[in-house]
Amino acid sequence: MQKTWFDTARFGMFIHWGHSSQQGWELSWPLVGGVFSLPYCQDVPINLYHQNAHTFNPSAYSPHEAWARFAQELGMQYAILTVKHHDGFALFHTQQSEFSIEHTPYRQDIVQQYLDAMRSHGIRVGLYFSLSDWHHLDYPAFTEADKPYRFDRLPQPSPQQWQRYLEFLLAQLRELLTNYGEIDVLWFDGGWERTPEQWRASDIHQMIRQLQPRCLTGDRLPGCGDFDTPEQFIPAHPPARRWETCLTINESWGYNPTDRQFKTARQLIHTLCEVAGKGGNLLLNVSPMGNGEFPPEQVERLEVVSAWMKHYAESIIGTEAGLEAWQFYGSSTRRGQRYYLHLLMQPYDTISVRGLPIKQIASVRSLKTNQPLEYTTRCAILDTLQNPDPLGELTIQIPKGEIDPNATVIVVDLLPR
Ligand code: GLC
């Protein structure tokens, strides 16, 4: 597997935004009556949902300031925007239909503005694109008669309709891959509604390879993809290949003020540490409101994460998975001969790390204050006598003053190799 920027990016921003955000409705799912995985999702008549597109006019949308700068302050390395969700509405200018931002009072190409902003802040860019389209007549569009949504009983197209839909889909993808410069990630979704053969997934994949050879894709283009995308979940064991957990701050993807189930900033920080410790990336979702601003409850939490990252980003960004779970009760990451220990609980007395080459320990310190920490080492008695480079146990004193209320980080340096 060739190394890419994605392998150690560790932190990205997912942005779920659409015309439904004007009303505080979740993206797409309200129009099919909701879904089990989104407890606060509304149920909205289909016509009413789609009509909402006509008034979309995000006056305060300022991706440079509000989005990209924030992402940069958070230490995020990449961003993924929903340029088309299952509701079929395109946030980009497209020749393939009139169901796009171009035909709203706002008119401007939101995707272009987003790309410019992120790129100018050095953030890699990705596009979320739903394969399924509940608005397109040939898909075919979801109707009131199809409610409630059932995964095992979906409206099916005729062969002619499907042919036309696939042409439409490929043409939109081609626009995205040719009109907007280099795209770092194409994040597909909605693939569960058809088979890999119906999607002609390998043709799509080939087209991406041909138009943008460096563009990565997730596993939701059925049967293809460069990385796994566990949703709302940290895998118990790190997957064998690249992976990225996507996670919401509350229980909704799009802006939904009825959902007050916010995670705490500390929970978000701990999730980031755990994901990095297992060698994955965290794609943390934000849900802009209809005007383009992030909701205050999300900003409040992200500011805490950002303040934490000011001191500790070094232990997350650009690192590899750290120690094995049996070696340390917490998560940890690694950069060469340096280990970062994430204390996700307050120690009673000391903390211990097992299975380290104890003769090679060069220093132990607190990352935030640089304060050297007292430590002792030991190994099996006979090893002390016979083995010049034994594996043993490191026990570190953690003074109360070094405890960070969100997550303390300890740096253990081994001698250079
Ligand atoms: C799901 C949902 C969707 C959301 C996505 C993000 O598959 O359909 O609403 O965009 O997950 O991972």
Ligand 1 atom at minimal distance to the Cα of residue 26? 9
Which residues, including other chains, have CB under 8 Å from residue 160's CB and lie 6 or more apart?
none
Helix (H, G, I), strand (E, B) or coil at 101: helix
Atom 10 of ligand 1, nearest CA residue: 253
Distance 253 CA to ligand 1 centre (A): 7
Ligand 1 atom at minimal distance to the Cα of residue 189? 7
| Per-residue model confidence (pLDDT) at position 38 | 98
Q: Give me the mean pLDDT over the 359-371 stretch.
A: 97
Distance 379 CA to ligand 1 centre (A): 49
Contact (Cβ atoms closer than 8 angstroms) between residue 63 and residue 109:
no
DSSP codes of every residue in 32-66 = GT--TT-TT-----HHHHHHGGGG---TT--IIII
Beta strands 11-15 and 78-84 are parallel
| Per-residue model confidence (pLDDT) at position 136 | 98
Ligand 1 atom at minimal distance to the Cα of residue 85? 10
Ligand 1 atom at minimal distance to the Cα of residue 82? 10
Ligand 1 atom at minimal distance to the Cα of residue 220? 7
Q: What would the pLDDT profile of 293-308 be if each residue is shown by its tens digit?
A: 999 999 999 999 999 9
Probe target for ligand 1 pocket from 41, 49, 189, with the most ligand atoms within 8 Å of CB: 189
The pTM (predicted TM-score) of the whole model is 0.97
Q: Give me the mean pLDDT over the 393-416 stretch.
A: 97
| Per-residue model confidence (pLDDT) at position 90 | 98
Probe target for ligand 1 pocket from 38, 231, 245, 284, with the most ligand atoms within 8 Å of CB: 231
Distance 356 CA to ligand 1 centre (A): 41
Helix (H, G, I), strand (E, B) or coil at 30: helix
Distance 219 CA to ligand 1 centre (A): 13
Distance 128 CA to ligand 1 centre (A): 10
Distance 240 CA to ligand 1 centre (A): 23
Q: How confident is the model at residue 356 (pLDDT cuts 50, 70, 90)?
A: very high
Atom 8 of ligand 1, nearest CA residue: 190
Give the Cα separation of 215 and 5 in Å (integer).
11
Distance 382 CA to ligand 1 centre (A): 56
| Per-residue pLDDT at 1 exceeds 80 | no
- Bridge partners of 13, per DSSP, are 79, 284
Q: What would the pLDDT profile of 32-84 be if each residue is shown by its tens digit?
A: 999 999 999 999 999 999 999 999 999 899 999 889 999 999 999 999 999 99
Q: Give me the mean pLDDT over the 197-208 stretch.
A: 96
Distance 129 CA to ligand 1 centre (A): 11
Contact (Cβ atoms closer than 8 angstroms) between residue 83 and residue 92:
yes
Mean pLDDT of the chain: 97
Q: What would the pLDDT profile of 383-400 be if each residue is shown by its tens digit?
A: 888 999 999 999 999 999
Ligand 1 atom at minimal distance to the Cα of residue 229? 12
| Per-residue model confidence (pLDDT) at position 2 | 84
Give the Cα separation of 316 and 47 in Å (integer).
45
* Token digits of residue 359: 């003769």
Burial class of 127 by CB neighbour count within 10 A (0 to 12, 13 to 18, 19+): buried
Atom 5 of ligand 1, nearest CA residue: 189
Give the Cα separation of 402 and 414 in Å (integer).
21
- CB within 6 Å of ligand 1 — which residues? 16, 27, 189, 231, 246, 253
Distance 189 CA to ligand 1 centre (A): 7
Distance 246 CA to ligand 1 centre (A): 9
Ligand 1 atom at minimal distance to the Cα of residue 130? 10
| Per-residue pLDDT at 12 exceeds 90 | yes
| Per-residue model confidence (pLDDT) at position 350 | 96
| Per-residue model confidence (pLDDT) at position 384 | 85
Instruction: Say which residue, 175 or 349, is predicted with more confidence.
Output: 175
Q: What share of the chain is helix, strand, coil (3-state, %, to 5)?
A: 35, 20, 45
Atom 4 of ligand 1, nearest CA residue: 253
Ligand 1 atom at minimal distance to the Cα of residue 35? 8
At 188, the amino acid letter reads F
Q: How confident is the model at residue 382 (pLDDT cuts 50, 70, 90)?
A: confident
Ligand 1 atom at minimal distance to the Cα of residue 232? 12
Which residues, including other chains, have CB under 8 Å from residue 263's CB and lie 6 or more apart?
249, 250, 271, 301
Distance 238 CA to ligand 1 centre (A): 22
Atom 12 of ligand 1, nearest CA residue: 231
Distance 27 CA to ligand 1 centre (A): 9
